[in-house]
Structure 1
């Protein structure tokens, strides 16, 4: 392989036709045909473009004319792919047959576009034309952008990149290096930058994308990353792999994305390319360190709506190698899993609905508008005969047994919060890789919390989905990191000074783990809880106020906070019943309230 020139490793069609069946074989004829496309019919436009590109790539013509025809097709193909992606993204990870065909059509459209530009590259290298100086840089940049599109879509669908895609990207840049074209800028109307893009930047974009650990991100995060990579590409350097400051290494002759430099021996770095991300990571860190109201003056080119979760993830991915703490070993057996905070809370609570776990007092019965309202400030309300006697009503009620209703309600809750039995691929003390052979639920997303346990176990471990990937022939796999061996379900309420307190939301109390120096912590929804928030914790009706201190971990779905209690536990007040002195009449807390009243 080393003896071959870069262009010999590019896969291109061999033109054999001298005419087109759908229009005149010229840029003018193609433009007239494009102007007549039925753009309101997306499927028909996609079919016509697909068939048209197949013919154009088979057409014998000059490189100048081929480029002009490809440039006419490119914006139409881009627009069509954007429209088609709406039928693919934000869908279950395992696509149905129709969505899968749409995804394959998008890939085919962009691959055929890239093939046309690669054909110009190969022809110009084998038989240079007089316009080579202008044609070749344009064709190289367009070919790299053409291959980048299928790379993005593969990541968003958690599938591997197509065979030879990375190899061809590497070869295109090797051609630019050999001809000293890496710094030449090319205008691109599909980019937001008016000054265009250099060939080195066009190559740096997919390298950054490939090093971003996209299998740990959600589709929306990947889409937002794509929006900014073209603007960030000039903040990284591509240089020999043995130079200082290189975190990632690229082997041009290998069909693979960038790898961490530390995974290779120093002696094997000769002839390899390195990717230095120090400047970009520094600007991301500076942006995150600023208060939100001051971030507009940061050097990092971003919009205010960029996700801080995304930036924190990228800072980790591009700033340091992620060392695996434990060695994985092949696994056997199965795990029982529930996905999402609602399902995990339900099963941790012993299959009890969230509202029932809070044990809150029932709201007072509503009265007709004409009934006088009871006021505790009225001294007569303390008279023995002033209180409404509910015991009389109780004797007049007809009680019905409702075991069928209770059972059906339990069945509905179990359907709402299902359990899944999944085979273990491998495991370590820190987590599992499990396989999902069939259809996966919509809740299966990177960063989602889940519960897991052995098939014969009762207690639930708390974990988070760190990555997802589609393995051809084996279904979906996900990497699961353990957060805690157990947890206590609770309700969390945000306490506000001036505004109304929030409703109770589901939360989990994680125990202290001294072996790894982990303090007691709690899992809370991302919103509205923040560091410094004052909260109320409800455990089966027992309430305590606390303060969220340091945020240990965060994903799109939840945060893990250290916390401290501000008061002792106190039962939730219950509505007194006739003949009852309240729920805590014979507890120590009752005496505590007595001392203050004496």
Structure 2
């Protein structure tokens, strides 16, 4: 450890009373009160827990007894916080007043629990060197775990960590290291994959979370990631700040998450530490490559998430482009439905399918006799392709393709919102939105258009930053300057082919040596799949090749044509097709 020893800097409220008011103060009485909580009534239980934990933290209680009381109430607080999380994490990232109070309540309950354990820490070290009990180890472990929950919850709303949460984590770990108790194993029934871990393990898990570029991950992914770190802490090393093998640096006296070593010019003053997760990043990359990695990766972690954290915990990648401050506005639409709608010149997908005559069952397309001679349909062969005398031409209401009357588009339509441009680069935008819709998520597909631009540019939300009473900031990575709306379906070897789904085609850029690519939903497509794509004029069978851009919402594929382009307008496939646009209007 480097630098001067810093005094422990953790905050607790002053003791104001000598006994509890909501129970008789005995362990049995406290446990009976906890067991009587109306857990089925979230509001009532949360209120009682809030009042009790706050009172507990201002009441004089011996350290060992306080620890036992906190262990009794801990599961109830965690269970209620999980229920509260489900409510706030199902909303837009910009919470309304009511949901903001729910978020604050969850943070307060978790923080009150941490305060209780911090009381024990201060009481224990006040006894003097060498006089501490095992309660110090347990209390530091629990305080770190509970403070970590407040950081996780804040990250899930793309907000800054609570004030002093990082500082207190660093301080608590520093104390444990100084007392040489940081490697002792402590049982914890709130673990998902392990039943016990050390103070170092609990601390490293939160450091990994802070280093994982959390504003680029989705809310659920952050929960899954934090749980998975239980399995990986042995591959991560915490060392002194001067250890040049460390990819990240943190200062014990600063209220900050770790930062890349390459971003700082010199070590911070005072006690500093290094974090080196490179072995973990290498193991995760081997897992992705289907190589022997010696690491357990939970099945609920997608390859996209594993790839993200492997990159985040590896060597820092410098930005390809410099940002330029910019002022102005841009329209933005979020999600594949909206992107497809605007790339299709504001036509809904069902409307396009109908106008493209793609909503007809396959059996109608293949109903013609396979044995019919191609010349049977010729006029001069006297064939029976159709009886012109039997057609009542007066009954046909001929419709011009460019006629004024057109059936209304009643399908689902995309919505564009106005955003403020903060900065730009050749690779994307930094924008701000006052009231972001619930569809705003990292990895979500977007189209964006500045005033006077003809085409919508295709992009992806890479990061989100949210602060109270401030517009939500989004980082948009550009994928292509233009995209074309298509329909795509999976071609199955047996049985019926899949339904047509929304897709986008990015035109080739020969000057840049880039072939055309397809942007498709995650399911049911995959590398190697055969698919049919259609844009109303042309249809083509293709095989999906390499993935170029993978998100939690879409995949960008290169593809290999399996058939020549067929121009639907010029097809003469059996007589009926040339009139297909009018049959349903006669």
Q: TM-score, normalised by structure 2?
A: 0.88
Say whether the 8 Å CA contact 1:331–1:427 is kept in structure 2.
Answer: yes
Partner residue of 2:333? 338
Match of 1:534 among 524, 527, 530: 530
Query: Is 1:427 the counterpart of 2:424 in the alignment?
Result: yes
Match of 2:394 in 1: 395
For the Cα contact (< 8 Å) 1:546–1:564, is it kept in 2? yes
The structural deviation recorded for 1:342 is 1.8
Q: Is the 8 A contact 1:327 1:428 kept in 2?
A: yes
Question: For the Cα contact (< 8 Å) 2:84–2:106, is it kept in 1?
Answer: yes
The 1-side partners of 2:248 and 2:501 are apart by 42
Q: 1:188 to 1:387 in 2, by over 3 A?
A: same
Aligned-pair distance for 1:475? 2.3
**8 A contact 2:124–2:133 mirrored in 1:** no
User: Secondary structure in 1 aligned to 2:166?
Assistant: helix
With over 3 angstroms needed to count, the CA separation of the structure-2 counterparts of 1:364 and 1:395, relative to structure 1, is farther
Pairs within 5 Å for 1:469-548: 469-513=465-509, 518-548=514-544
Q: Is the 8 A contact 1:492 1:506 kept in 2?
A: yes
Please give the per-residue CA displacement for 1:190-248, whole angstroms capped at 9, x wherever unaligned: 22466621111111011001111111111121121122112212221100122243111
Residue in structure 1 matched with residue 584 of structure 2 by the alignment = none
Deviations 1:47-79 (CA, angstroms, capped at 9, x unpaired): 001000111111112111111111111111111
Deviations 1:254-275 (A, max 9, x none): 1110100111125658842011
1:39 match: 39
- Which stretch of structure 1 is more off in the superposition, 352-361 or 169-178? 352-361
In the alignment, is the contact (CA less than 8 A) between 1:489 and 1:509 conserved in 2? yes
Q: Secondary structure at the match of 2:472?
A: strand
The farther-off stretch of 146-155 and 384-393 is 384-393
8 Å contact from structure 2 (residues 334, 447) kept in 1:
yes
Identify if the C-alpha distance between structure 1 residues 263 and 299 changes in structure 2 by more than 3 Å, giving closer, same or farther.
Answer: same
Match of 2:283 in 1: 283
3-state SS, counterpart of residue 132 of structure 1: coil
List runs of 5+ in structure 2 lacking aligned partners. 582-586
Per-residue CA shift, 1:75-114, capped at 9, x if unaligned?
A: 1111111122221122221222222211111100000000
Partners of 2:55 and 2:270 lie apart in 1 by 43
Determine the structure 1 residue equivalent to 2:323. 328
Q: Does 1:436 align with 2:433?
A: yes
Aligned equivalents of 2:361 and 2:236: distance in 1?
Answer: 64
1:312 partnered with 2:307: yes
Query: What does 1:353-372 align with in structure 2 at a 5 Å threshold?
Result: 353-357=348-352, 359-360=356-357, 363=360
Counterpart-to-counterpart distance in 2, 1:564 and 1:285: 28
Q: 1:388 to 1:187 in 2, by over 3 A?
A: farther
Shift of the 268–12 alpha-carbon distance from structure 1 to 2, 3 Å rule, reads: closer
Q: How does 1:264-283 map to 2 (within 5 A)?
A: 264-266=264-266, 271-283=271-283
> What's the offset of the Cα at 1:281?
1.4
Q: Is the 8 A contact 2:224 2:300 kept in 1?
A: no
Matches within 5 A, 1:156-305: 156-192=156-192, 196-266=196-266, 271-290=271-290, 299-305=294-300
Give the drift of 1:488. 2.1
Change (3 A) 1:524 1:363: closer
Secondary structure in 2 aligned to 1:544?
A: strand
Instruction: State the Cα distance separating 1:167 from its structure 2 match.
Output: 0.8
* Distance in 1, Cα, partners of 2:221 & 2:362: 47
- Paired residues in the alignment total 566
- Structure 1 position 515, deviation (Å): 7.3
Between the aligned partners of 1:472 and 1:580, the Cα distance in structure 2 is: 60
- The answer to whether 1:417 aligns with 2:414 is yes
On the 8 A contact 1:360/1:574 being kept in 2, the answer is no
- SS of residue paired to 1:250: strand
Change (3 A) 1:580 1:430: closer
Q: Which residue of 1 aligns with 2:76?
A: 76
Distance in 2 (alpha carbons) for counterparts of 1:195 and 1:304 = 19
Cα distance between partner residues in 2 of 1:273 and 1:452: 42
> Which is worse superposed, 504-513 or 420-429?
504-513
Contact 2:5/2:271 (CA < 8 Å) preserved in 1? Answer: no
Between the aligned partners of 1:260 and 1:45, the Cα distance in structure 2 is 42
Question: Offset at 1:357?
Answer: 4.1
1:476 to partner: Cα distance: 1.1
Residue 104 of structure 1 aligns to a residue whose secondary structure is: helix
Conservation of the 8 A alpha-carbon contact between 1:6 and 1:174: no
Q: Kindly tell me: are residues 310 and 363 of structure 1, through their superposed partners in 2, closer, same or farther at Cα, counting changes over 3 Å?
A: closer
Q: Distance in 2 between matches of 1:462 and 1:374?
A: 41
Distance in 2, Cα, partners of 1:60 & 1:96: 38
Aligned partners of 1:262 and 1:362: how far apart in 2? 56
Give, in angstroms, the shift of residue 362 of structure 1: 6.5
Q: How far 1:303 moved relative to its partner?
A: 3.1
Instruction: Write the deviation string for residues 475-508 of structure 1: whole angstroms up to 9, x where unpaired.
Output: 2111101111112222223233334322222222
Secondary structure, in 3 states, of the residue corresponding to 1:230? Answer: helix
1:127 correspondence with 2:127: yes
Aligned equivalent of 1:588? none
1:136-164 residue CA offsets vs partner (Å, 9 max, x unmatched): 11110010011011111111111111111
Aligned to 1:153: 153
Distance 1:398 1:39, change over 3 A: same
Structure 1 residues 148-157 or 497-506, which shifts more? Answer: 497-506
Cα gap change, 1:381 to 1:124, in 2 (>3 Å): same
